[in-house]
């Protein structure tokens, strides 16, 4: 039986889907299993999730009867996956055991969502093609409640760093669809995990790690600063603040809060910098309206020069304060973070971090919803079933949901790289899978 595809469908596919032919590129940098590919001369778009393979060798294919040259026969490596795309290059991960060399040629194979071919021409729209791709790494035996990314092991590294509910700090290297543990650091048992950040501060090329915790013996919040030295993580400083990174990729900044003396509410956010061989807070600050840095930020949603305050309200809604004084709210979707600590006889809630991608007038807010299980809460981590990541934009004075990614586990924290939203889903058995959602 012949399968007929309408001319209209083919036309629409040709408009919205780049040419699905293999594209030859060159390896320009190699770091373990991570390779950098020059895509500057391609006339098609490369997307995260595309596959690629190295050209190991070629040989001429000749018809023995006619002597006709049929072209080159290529021998390829196992396939890797594109994880990051920049304007002139792409970053890919090779499987373990496959090695690349600078100057070696590779072939990128664009991927197509099979669901598109099952839809009628009327339903094929640019919005369908903008659905988020995600890369889920193999589970690790930790309950991850904090996550970040930075060049920790060396200046060109793209390490993921995590914080577990047991206070274990771990630095990982991506290895295809698995994570390889490089080094770890254990907080003392009387410290309750809150947040983790990784950002170059004391050194312009490599990142310090900032681990925020609640000290149950002193009933106070602190942040320890860790640095990778002599092939291990060493504590180099301790700060009396709640610390959280703000922004994505190389544009991240670091901010600090102190709690009010009389209660559990935090004060204004002050930028944290490194001056005269020590970490100090500056006078550069912004009001958080008693919200913790994990769930509050400023971003010019409406227009340049007039930043909007965005936060997760106590009723679970994501709220943006507009320039006219009014507020734009999401639907009631965003429940409190499972992470709670007892502070001065109060239970303090720490909401999952908000992230913003894009530019003024075209920004997307990424927020977390965790579905509760029977409405039960504990003094540290609430009882939740699974989480979702929602992507919202400001339209006509309201925050509208534009996309959503459903996860298999609960989300405690998010971070963002240049092109991805980074999170960890805590699975029912207590393990975690780190997930990258491509923007």
- For 352-362, how does the pLDDT look when each residue is reduced to its tens digit (9 = 90+)? 889 998 887 78
Number of domains in the chain: 2
Percent of the chain scoring above 90 in pLDDT? 40
User: Are 267 and 318 in the same domain?
Assistant: yes
Q: What is the pLDDT of residue 111?
A: 64
Question: Has residue 378 got a pLDDT over 90?
Answer: no
Query: How confident is the model over 152-178, as a mean pLDDT?
Result: 91
Inter-residue contact 317 to 334 (CB < 8 Å): yes
Report helix, strand or coil for 294: helix
Work out the pLDDT band at 373, boundaries 50, 70, 90: low
Q: What is the pLDDT of residue 94?
A: 93
Q: What is the pLDDT of residue 128?
A: 31
Query: Is residue 16 within a helix (H) or strand (E), and if so which, with residue range?
Result: helix 7-16
Q: What is the pLDDT of residue 281?
A: 94
Q: Higher-confidence residue: 130 or 237? A: 237
Does residue 8 lie in a domain region?
no
Work out the pLDDT band at 337, boundaries 50, 70, 90: low
Domain boundary among 124, 154, 180: 124
Local structure of residue 131 (DSSP, 8 states) = P
Work out the pLDDT band at 381, boundaries 50, 70, 90: low
Query: How confident is the model over 131-135, as a mean pLDDT?
Result: 77
User: Are 346 and 197 in the same domain?
Assistant: yes
Q: What is the pLDDT of residue 63?
A: 80
User: Are 95 and 148 in the same domain?
Assistant: no
Query: How confident is the model over 258-279, as a mean pLDDT?
Result: 85
Q: What is the pLDDT of residue 341?
A: 77
Is the dihedral angle over the CA atoms 334, 375, 242, 239 positive or is it negative? negative
Question: Has residue 297 got a pLDDT over 70?
Answer: yes
Does residue 129 lie in a domain region?
no
Does residue 207 lie in a domain region?
yes
- Give the domain extent around 234: 134-438
- Please give the model's pTM, rounded to 2 decimal places: 0.70
Task: Outline where 294-378 has alpha helix (H).
Answer: none
- For 265, phi then psi, to 5°, come to -80, 145
Question: Has residue 51 got a pLDDT over 70?
Answer: yes
User: Are 202 and 310 in the same domain?
Assistant: yes
Question: Has residue 339 got a pLDDT over 70?
Answer: yes
Question: Has residue 412 got a pLDDT over 50?
Answer: yes
User: Are 278 and 425 in the same domain?
Assistant: yes
Kindly report the CATH number assigned to the domain that includes residue 424. Answer: 2.130.10
User: Are 341 and 416 in the same domain?
Assistant: yes
User: Are 70 and 178 in the same domain?
Assistant: no
User: Are 28 and 80 in the same domain?
Assistant: yes
């Amino acid at each position: 039986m012949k399968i007929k595809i309408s001319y209209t469908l083919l036309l629409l596919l040709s408009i919205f889907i780049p040419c699905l032919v293999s594209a030859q590129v060159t390896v320009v940098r190699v770091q373990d299993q991570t390779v950098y590919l020059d895509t500057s001369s391609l006339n098609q778009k490369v997307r995260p999730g595309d596959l690629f393979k190295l050209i190991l060798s070629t040989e001429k294919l000749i018809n023995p009867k006619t002597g006709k040259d049929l072209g080159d026969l290529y021998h390829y490596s196992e396939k890797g996956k594109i994880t990051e795309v920049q304007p002139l290059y792409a970053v890919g991960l090779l499987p373990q055991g496959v090695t690349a060399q600078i100057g070696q040629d590779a072939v990128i194979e664009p991927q197509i969502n099979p669901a598109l071919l099952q839809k009628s021409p009327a339903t094929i729209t640019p919005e369908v093609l903008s659905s988020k791709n995600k890369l889920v790494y193999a589970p690790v035996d930790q309950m991850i409640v904090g996550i970040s990314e930075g060049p920790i092991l060396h200046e060109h590294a793209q390490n993921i760093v995590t914080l577990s509910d047991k206070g274990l700090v771990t630095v990982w290297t991506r290895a295809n669809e698995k994570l390889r543990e490089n080094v770890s650091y254990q907080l003392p048992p009387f410290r309750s995990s809150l947040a983790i950040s990784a950002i170059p501060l004391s050194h312009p090329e490599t990142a310090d790690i900032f681990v925020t915790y609640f000290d149950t013996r002193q009933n106070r919040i602190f942040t320890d600063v860790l640095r990778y030295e002599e092939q291990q993580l060493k504590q180099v400083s301790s700060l009396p603040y709640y610390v959280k990174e703000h922004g994505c990729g190389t544009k991240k900044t670091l901010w600090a809060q102190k709690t009010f003396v009389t209660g559990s509410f935090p004060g204004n956010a002050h930028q944290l910098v490194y001056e005269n061989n020590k970490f100090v807070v500056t006078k550069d600050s912004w009001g958080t309206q008693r919200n913790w840095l994990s769930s509050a930020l400023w971003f010019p949603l409406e227009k340049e020069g007039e930043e909007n305050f965005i936060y997760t309200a106590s009723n679970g809604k994501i709220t943006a304060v507009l320039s006219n004084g009014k507020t734009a709210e999401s639907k009631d979707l965003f429940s409190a973070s499972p992470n709670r600590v007892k502070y001065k006889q109060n239970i303090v809630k720490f909401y999952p971090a908000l992230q913003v991608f894009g530019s003024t007038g075209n920004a997307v807010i990424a927020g977390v919803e965790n579905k509760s299980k029977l409405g039960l809460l504990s003094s540290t981590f609430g009882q939740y079933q699974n989480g979702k990541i929602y992507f919202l934009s400001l339209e006509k004075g309201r925050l509208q949901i534009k996309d959503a990614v459903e996860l298999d586990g609960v989300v405690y924290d998010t971070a963002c790289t240049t092109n991805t939203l980074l999170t960890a889903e805590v699975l029912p058995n207590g393990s975690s899978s780190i997930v990258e959602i491509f923007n």
